[in-house]
Amino acid sequence: MIEVRHLNMEFEGDNVLNDINARFDKGLVNMIIGKSGSGKTVLMKCIVGLLTPTSGEIMYDGHNFLALKTKELRRLRRDIGMLFQGSALFDSRTVLENVMFPLDMFSRKNSRERRKRAEFCLERVGLSDAANLYPSEISGGMMKRAAIARAISLNPKYLFCDEPNSGLDPKTSQLIDELIEDITKDFMMTTIVVSHDMNSVINIGDKVVFINEGVKEWEGTKSEVMDADNEKLNDFVFASDLFKKIKEAEDKISEDKKG
Ligand SMILES: Nc1ncnc2c1ncn2[C@@H]1O[C@H](COP(=O)(O)OP(=O)(O)OP(=O)(O)O)[C@@H](O)[C@H]1O
């Protein structure tokens, strides 16, 4: 479980995050949603340590991340898997070599074991047949899957995904969402996904944190998101015609039932 408490982030006097309090639970896909520029990525970067917040606490299973000593921090970093927006694979390495990279860097396993672990991760994401291909030889969806295999290679307790569906078609997006959900449950990870894709929220968002202009406006479950009593969240959710129509249809069905 990860908890942020009274988190503030300021860039040159501009408050980008204001007193954020939120809890991200183990074994769940926790989504941070909000409009472009609302502060989602800054929040995630603070949580993983890519940015240092101006003030506040970030608790990883009870340990204050910002107060950890170098050795503890190094240990915690091994428990963190990251899936970046653009997959960020190394072009000059094969898919298997990409997945082996974190193992080669941080694992104490011998080379046979490292290779076995990488092959297991590739199998888990359904990419065994592409092990010897280069990133330029595979599709965008396969690149995402390779990046997921790499992110889980060190068997992390915490998985962070920044816009995992960017640039993918709807069907492939759904497959990537489902993969993230499956591995979260299989390996009991605390997963945080930054997204502005409402389809993903409805597909896999066990828990949803809505950020608006650097303020946490709302927190709840995916089943609550459509009926939330929060104007800013409603504006965000129903900006999509599809979700507006789904909501209208649901309201009509419940009206008809009453009548
Ligand atoms: N390194 C930085 N220096 C100064 N301002 C920054 C920095 N990083 C982000 N910001 C500002 O912080 C605000 C929030 O940015 P952030 O990237 O978190 O938005 P976001 O919600 O993730 O948006 P998107 O969905 O477009 O990625 C923006 O106004 C952005 O310009």
44-89 residue pLDDT tens:
999 999 999 999 999 999 999 999 999 999 889 889 999 988 778 9
C-alpha to C-alpha distances, 101 to 45, 89, 114, 119, 180, nearest whole angstrom: 22, 10, 9, 12, 21
Q: What is the largest CA-CA distance in the chain?
A: 69
Q: For 103-114, what is the mean pLDDT?
A: 91
User: Closest ligand 1 atom, CA of 34?
Assistant: 21
pLDDT given at position 197 = 87
Q: Where are the domains of the chain?
A: 1-79+156-223, 89-154
Q: For 226-236, what is the mean pLDDT?
A: 90
pTM of the shown model: 0.91
Best of 11, 35, 85 for a ligand 1 pocket test (most atoms within 8 Å of beta carbon): 11
Instruction: Spell out the residues 6+ positions from residue 81 whose beta carbon is closer than 8 angstroms to its own.
Output: 151, 152, 153, 154, 156, 158, 159, 160, 189
| Other beta carbons within 10 Å of 236 | 23
Helices (H) and strands (E) in the chain, counts: 10, 10
Tens-place pLDDT, residues 163-222 = 998 888 888 889 999 999 999 999 999 999 999 888 899 889 999 999 999 999 999 998
C-alpha to C-alpha distances, 184 to 6, 30, 33, 82, 177, nearest whole angstrom: 27, 10, 18, 13, 11
CATH number for the domain whose boundaries are 1-79+156-223: 3.40.50.300
Best of 16, 40, 210 for a ligand 1 pocket test (most atoms within 8 Å of beta carbon): 16
Which tokens is 135 given? 């990133």
